[in-house]
Amino acid sequence: MERRRKMKKQISTGPIKAKIGEPAGIHRRIGILYVDHEIYMRGGEAIREIFEKLKIIPVQVNTNLATRQVFVYFISPNLNPLPMGVRPPTFYLEIEQDEEGEIKDARLIEKDSGDPYMES
């Protein structure tokens, strides 16, 4: 009997929900970035500088070695807040390189919505 009372008193620790009419926090401004594996691994400091310039804060990095892609889940103040249950927008990183392979410039290109695995 005592155990049941303790369980009822337990406080739920779910995600923080914004109230109606209240601006959504930075944790709702999320996106997914696809980067080529070789560019990401070779980039190092240059990739960090690009992220700072584009105002991207990486949250989680996943690597798919089968497709040679790196998925970077990021938050950015430039993105619109997402409603709950909506898939985040996906982006590609378009990189300009010089003759030696050094990264000169980069910009985000939004990919059309759809499943990235279903490309033909």
Q: What are the structural domain ranges in the chain?
A: 26-114
pLDDT score for 17? 52
- What is the per-residue DSSP string for 89-118? PEEEEEEEE-TTS-EEEEEEEEPPSS-GGG
Residue 84: phi and psi, rounded to 5, are -65, 140
Residue bearing the bigger pLDDT, 6 or 28: 28
User: Contacts for 37-41 with beta carbons within 8 Å, 24 or more apart?
Assistant: 37/63, 37/65, 37/68, 37/69, 37/70, 38/68, 39/93, 39/95, 39/103, 40/70, 40/72
- State what percent of residues in the chain have pLDDT above 90: 0
Joined tokens for residue 20: 């109606």
pLDDT score for 27? 57
Provide the mean pLDDT of the chain: 71
pLDDT tens for each residue of 80-113: 777 777 788 888 887 777 777 666 777 788 876 5
